[in-house]
Structure 1
């Protein structure tokens, strides 16, 4: 049972995330989420006016947490900006290839499902992905500034291309149930950034 002073809204979102990652949005009913959260059904509408509003809040919360992780990966540790950017893609591969559904990307899981059904959730996905592309654009610009990638690369266009590449790889990895799409994405990323091939 939740303590009286607990942040019930945030608790509902945290409990719902792994359920949504496992089943998707449409397949999960409010009762399942509220039962898992230990929250009475009547109080749900105190925090969210509809299931769509809940989905929007879930995506906003997901991206807020994810972008903190991205900032940490892109700024922490030694090495060049290009090396930090490649560490980010290596982390993407590691998490998305994992068998643990809690490691998966909520944007990949819900993007195709909800974008045609909920304008609020589509807008939340767009806000979140735009913010991620902004981080990647800055990372590419930093790599140009420190000389670790080709100075002729356009930061924003490159960031968009890389994000689209990795979204596609994540979907194909789900379809093929192999890591091959991520191998191809790593190789393509290195080519796009004009980095030397990794040793075999």
Structure 2
């Protein structure tokens, strides 16, 4: 019984993530979510007390999945600077993809929900800080292996890289051109050396 509970809850979150990636948080109603997930409205409220709690759960799940991917990309035998480049190329590839599940929910929902929900803002803040923490750890490894020689402190460098790529993702959405990622990759290389 517990497995079925988790499966249904996860199914609702997966369906909602796709819908929200396309349309945003406020444009996706609960009726649309339950219809797309093919679950009764009462089931939705069994798993989530409100749309706000639901939005937080969608973002929690997004970051849980994303941090696993980032952690995997930033590990391995390559020098740390190269692992960071692998991650940044992955980011560019996913944001240029047509797949809704590849899109960055921080870019899609960040500005929209931070003024609507303190809970969702906190999840976004915690999640982005966790990503930046993984970047910082990789930068520390890069200093140790000699592949990163930037004069910026590790925390500032990690924050700068993340902000640079969030901006590139936003510009990609606006212009529908990948040039922002190419420019950001060039700047990232400069920041690391």
User: What is the TM-score when the length of structure 2 is the normalising length?
Assistant: 0.95
- Which residue is 1:98 aligned to? 97
Tell whether 2:25 aligns with 1:13: no
Which stretch of the first structure deviates more once superposed, 98-107 or 54-63? 98-107
- Which residue is 1:64 aligned to? 64
Are the equivalent residues in 1 in contact too, given 2:150–2:192 (CA < 8 A)?
A: no
Q: Distance in 1 between matches of 2:46 and 2:100?
A: 29
Cα RMSD after superposing both structures? 1.5
- Which residue is 1:110 aligned to? 109
Could you tell me how far 1:154 is from its partner in structure 2?
A: 1.1
Q: Distance in 1 between matches of 2:33 and 2:70?
A: 28
Q: Distance in 1 between matches of 2:192 and 2:150?
A: 10
- Which residue is 2:42 aligned to? 42
Q: Distance in 2 between matches of 1:5 and 1:59?
A: 22
Counting only pairs closer than 5 Å after superposition, residues 118-129 of structure 1 correspond to structure 2 as: 118-129=117-128
Matched pairs, number: 191
- Which residue is 2:81 aligned to? 82
Q: Which runs of 4+ in 1 moved over 4 A?
A: none
Structure 2: give runs of 5+ residues left out of the alignment: none
- Which residue is 1:198 aligned to? none
Which stretch of the first structure deviates more once superposed, 53-62 or 93-102? 93-102
Structure 1: give runs of 5+ residues left out of the alignment: 195-200
The structure with the greater share of residues assigned to helix is 2
